[in-house]
A and B are shown apart, each in its own frame.
Chain A
Amino acid sequence: MTHESVTSLVWLIPLPPLLAFALIVLFTNKNKALSHTVAISAAFLSWLGAMIVFWNAVKTEHFGEHPFASAVNWLPTGETWLKVGVLIDPLSAAVLFFVGWTVLMIFIYSVGYHNYGQPAGDHDHKGLPPHGATVEEHGHKHVVPSIEPMYSRFFAFIGLFAFGMYTLVVSDNLLTLFVGWEIMGLCSYLLIGFWYGKPSARNAAMKAFMTTRIGDVFMLIGIAFLYYATGTLTYREIFTEETLHVLATVPSGVFGLSAAGLIAILLFIGTVGKSAQFPLHVWLPDAMEGPTPVSAMIHAATMVSAGVYAVIRMFPLLTAGWHEGAPLNSAMTFVAFIGAFTAIFAATIAVAQNDIKRVLAYSTISQLGFMIAAIGMGAYIAAVFHLITHAFFKALLFLGSGSVIHGMEHGVLHTGNHNVDPQDMFNMGGLRKKMPITFWTFLIGGFALSGFPLVTAGFWSKDEILADAFANGHLTIFITLAVAAFMTAFYTMRQITLTFLGEARTKEAEHAQENKWTMTAPLVVLSFFAVTYGWVGIPEHFPLLGGIIPNWFHEFVGGTLAEHPPVLEFNIVPLLTSLAVALGGLFFGWLVYRNVNSPAEDKLQIPFLKNKYYFDEMYEVIFIKPAVWFSEVFVSKWMDKGFIDGILHLFGPATGGVGSAIRNYFDLPVINQFLGDGSADATWWVGKNLRPIQTGRIQQYLVLSLVVLFVVGGLLYFLLLA
């Protein structure tokens, strides 16, 4: 395909999911099979487009210098135009690859997760999770999982979500990136609160939206500032030498940052919200209220990745004035600090969580912290690499946990005991026997997350981050990340041990079942990538293996930047640390938890950790209660009802008074009585008094007419002739 035709194809990639959304909402809502067919076909078309573009990108020599770019004049702004368009450079090509795969896998998975093909539930309501249907089989009844009542709606929403993500990835300017960003924000609200009948889901949806909104406000200020400073929002026009130099040297007046630094930090705050970094991390664990494919979508494949993608995209701005080997500028230090802190902070919370999805949620926060820390340190390639590998194995882990929960729900429906939480790991156990495919794929994902050496992608990407930290002398960050990596491996193994190993702890776990191919096939596909993707980025100087397969990833993605990032020298220390923390964490995790069967025995159930350092409670007191007071008392009661309604209440009676006055003093006396009745009375009176003239006597008529004749004639005579 020619360069131009591929560029045209790029414009089309976001469209099929949008079309799917529109079609499902407008037409196919009632027909479940048609809805999921439309949605999956759309995801497939976008996947196909993404693959074609990626393949062409990879084939192109020096792709970074000839990206697929096309822009149109969109908004006239005085002399110039604000342009919007698409740009596929090496970074977005790589991102497009993983977005295409994960989105398609999640769409296919959703068919099975929402129990397509199952009967409708006994008392299922729209807005609540399905609760099972009783079927008669061979004379005895048992309860089977029922189909989700809002099946089509789910596919519509994830279609819109996919559209938002694709738009964000293919755009060449901050404006359409922000548009995609906000669409995903909306969809996360819609999807987290998918089961809107549950108060916890509604609250979680609002929390997610509000928290990310805070970040978005700052991001918008950053975008506005950037436009004001440079007059453009297109990446390639901002990241020119002159513009960056100017931005880097002009002081912004805030905290001693240069303009570039301030803009970068403002945009970064958007990422803090969207990618759930400290202190705006509070929404992500609550977002587990949504159905599991949503969690996978939001927290692995798309939304949180979008946050990191945005920061990576702004790398030239963040690092304006910095070069490899120099100490970090203030913006970078800030970013790295937030990233590293979040990584360890979230990891400490994860070890005390019992809900299988919560562990993964905090794990996501922690891993995003790794990526942010990498960017903060200037490790461009490492950050992108970890972003992509994380997307694959985290999506895999979430879908796997969904599969576990689905299997556990089967058991719950079988025993009929609805007090058992199918998501609590302490109710599971021994599931490796009941759900083998889920077990093996989850194991692969978990090992990838922990950084199991060589055969998992996570190892290669995490190792690169640690290597970069060590090589550039950021020892605090290095140690922090290493400790966080240890804890990651530890809680991952804790999770696997409690869930799959050992014996079933409850009856429900005994009756768990493996799921259909629509759920297990995506797991297998994703685990393939979780294993192999790491091998495209093996560092050149790696002992033994380095150099056998060229570090394609470094070459390809490195071409995005104006200056190719240098290849790191190999150092044994980070490698050893990486191996130690990964294997050590895994081992300890297994060791401690193989004999723990209940929360009481779990020594790490420290309340402080379990309750997430009471951050939610703190925010409630500091921010939420005052905001609620402000809106309910100050604005609603005093200003709106008191003041504004008070003025209106003056208008009402005033108008009423004026109306009554007019009625009583003008309408009734003047118009009704005087003009209306008065004219009638006057006419009657005149008639009554003129009537006697008509006597019927001719002589009187004659006399009268002659008199009148004389009078009028005389008048006329004297008037006309005198």
Chain B
Amino acid sequence: MIPLSWYLILAAALFGIGLFGVLVRRNAVAILLGVELMLNAVNINLVSFWRYGDVSTMAGQVFAIIVFAVAAAEVSVGLALVISVYRRRNTVVADELDLLKW
């Protein structure tokens, strides 16, 4: 009924929007929001492949659960870093964090 392509296109669109957010937003936290969107798109992809493939192999869902865990870890560490940077430099604007400039 619902062809696989719909889910995949949805995931691709979500991924693109998340990528746009990562590349374009000034605030460091907003960048991490974009990353979250991308991870969700990946998860959608995984689960839809699970559903439209052999349902008895749970690999798709297991992978998605692992992605959850990783995303959580990544967000926590990333936000901790942003907070730490904010404390030091008093800014969260990504463009101003350019210590590795030439």
Q: In the complex, are there CB atoms of A and B closer than 8 Å?
A: yes
* Partner-B contacts on A (CB < 8 A): 691-692, 694-699, 702-703, 706
Contact A696 B94 (CB under 8 A): no
Contact A694 B101 (CB under 8 A): yes
Residues of chain B with a CB closer than 8 A to A697's CB? 94-95, 97-98
Docked complex Cα distance between A694 and B19 (Å): 21
Residues of chain B with a CB closer than 8 A to A698's CB? 94, 97
A690 to chain B, nearest CB (A): 9
Q: Does B31 contact A (CB under 8 A)?
A: yes
B66 to chain A, nearest CB (A): 24
Residues of chain A with a CB closer than 8 A to B99's CB? 696
A691, A692, A694, A699: which contacts B94 (Cβ < 8 A)? A699
A699-B31, A699-B94 known; A694-B22 Cβ under 8 A: no
Residues of chain A with a CB closer than 8 A to B94's CB? 697-699
B72-102 near A? 1/0 per residue, CB < 8 Å: 0000000000000000000000110111111
Contact A702 B23 (CB under 8 A): yes
27 A-B residue pairs with Cβ-Cβ distance under 8 Å, sorted by A, are: A691-B102, A692-B102, A694-B100, A694-B101, A694-B102, A695-B101, A696-B97, A696-B98, A696-B99, A696-B100, A696-B101, A697-B94, A697-B95, A697-B97, A697-B98, A698-B97, A699-B22, A699-B23, A699-B24, A699-B31, A699-B94, A699-B95, A702-B22, A702-B23, A703-B23, A706-B19, A706-B23
- Beyond A695-B98, A696-B100, A703-B23, 10 additional pairs, beta carbon < 8 A: A694-B100, A695-B101, A696-B101, A696-B102, A697-B94, A697-B97, A697-B98, A699-B22, A699-B31, A706-B19
Docked complex Cα distance between A692 and B102 (Å): 7
A696 to chain B: closest residue by CB:
B98
Tally of A-B Cβ pairs under 8 angstroms: 30
Residues of chain A with a CB closer than 8 A to B19's CB? 706
Which of B31, B95, B97, B99 has most A Cβ within 10 Å? B95
Docked complex Cα distance between A440 and B85 (Å): 133
Residues of chain A with a CB closer than 8 A to B23's CB? 699, 702-703, 706
B22-48 near A? 1/0 per residue, CB < 8 Å: 111000000100000000000000000
Residues of chain B with a CB closer than 8 A to A692's CB? 102
Docked complex Cα distance between A5 and B99 (Å): 108
Is chain A's interface secondary structure helix, strand, loop, or mixed overall? helix
Q: Which 4 A-B pairs have the closest CB atoms?
A: A696-B98, A696-B101, A696-B100, A694-B102
Docked complex Cα distance between A699 and B96 (Å): 11
A699 to chain B, nearest CB (A): 6
Docked complex Cα distance between A696 and B100 (Å): 4
Residues of chain A with a CB closer than 8 A to B98's CB? 695-697
Docked complex Cα distance between A301 and B98 (Å): 112
B11 to chain A, nearest CB (A): 18
A516 to chain B, nearest CB (A): 105
Docked complex Cα distance between A696 and B97 (Å): 7
Docked complex Cα distance between A697 and B98 (Å): 5
B100 to chain A: closest residue by CB:
A696
A684 to chain B, nearest CB (A): 14
Residues of chain B with a CB closer than 8 A to A702's CB? 22-23
B31 to chain A: closest residue by CB:
A699
B99 to chain A: closest residue by CB:
A696
Docked complex Cα distance between A193 and B14 (Å): 117
Residues of chain B with a CB closer than 8 A to A706's CB? 19, 23
Residues of chain B with a CB closer than 8 A to A696's CB? 97-102
Docked complex Cα distance between A694 and B97 (Å): 13
A701 to chain B: closest residue by CB:
B100
Docked complex Cα distance between A680 and B101 (Å): 24
A243 to chain B, nearest CB (A): 104
Docked complex Cα distance between A691 and B101 (Å): 9
B32 to chain A, nearest CB (A): 12
Residues of chain A with a CB closer than 8 A to B31's CB? 699
Docked complex Cα distance between A697 and B102 (Å): 11
Docked complex Cα distance between A696 and B24 (Å): 16
B28 to chain A: closest residue by CB:
A698
Docked complex Cα distance between A712 and B101 (Å): 26
B81 to chain A, nearest CB (A): 12
Residues of chain B with a CB closer than 8 A to A691's CB? 102
Which of A691, A692, A694, A697 has most B Cβ within 10 Å? A697
Residues of chain A with a CB closer than 8 A to B100's CB? 694, 696
Docked complex Cα distance between A60 and B23 (Å): 129
Docked complex Cα distance between A692 and B98 (Å): 12
Residues of chain A with a CB closer than 8 A to B102's CB? 691-692, 694, 696
Residues of chain B with a CB closer than 8 A to A694's CB? 100-102
Residues of chain A with a CB closer than 8 A to B24's CB? 699
Residues of chain A with a CB closer than 8 A to B22's CB? 699, 702
Docked complex Cα distance between A699 and B31 (Å): 9
B24 to chain A: closest residue by CB:
A699
A694 to chain B: closest residue by CB:
B102
Docked complex Cα distance between A703 and B34 (Å): 14
A307 to chain B, nearest CB (A): 101
A25 to chain B, nearest CB (A): 81
Docked complex Cα distance between A692 and B99 (Å): 13
Docked complex Cα distance between A697 and B91 (Å): 14
Docked complex Cα distance between A189 and B19 (Å): 109
Docked complex Cα distance between A695 and B97 (Å): 10
Docked complex Cα distance between A691 and B102 (Å): 6
Docked complex Cα distance between A698 and B95 (Å): 8
Docked complex Cα distance between A698 and B24 (Å): 11
Which of B19, B94, B98, B102 has most A Cβ within 10 Å? B102
B31 to chain A, nearest CB (A): 7
Residues of chain B with a CB closer than 8 A to A699's CB? 22-24, 31, 94-95
Docked complex Cα distance between A695 and B98 (Å): 6
Docked complex Cα distance between A703 and B22 (Å): 10
B89 to chain A, nearest CB (A): 13
Docked complex Cα distance between A600 and B62 (Å): 149
Residues of chain A with a CB closer than 8 A to B95's CB? 697, 699
A687 to chain B: closest residue by CB:
B102
B19 to chain A: closest residue by CB:
A706
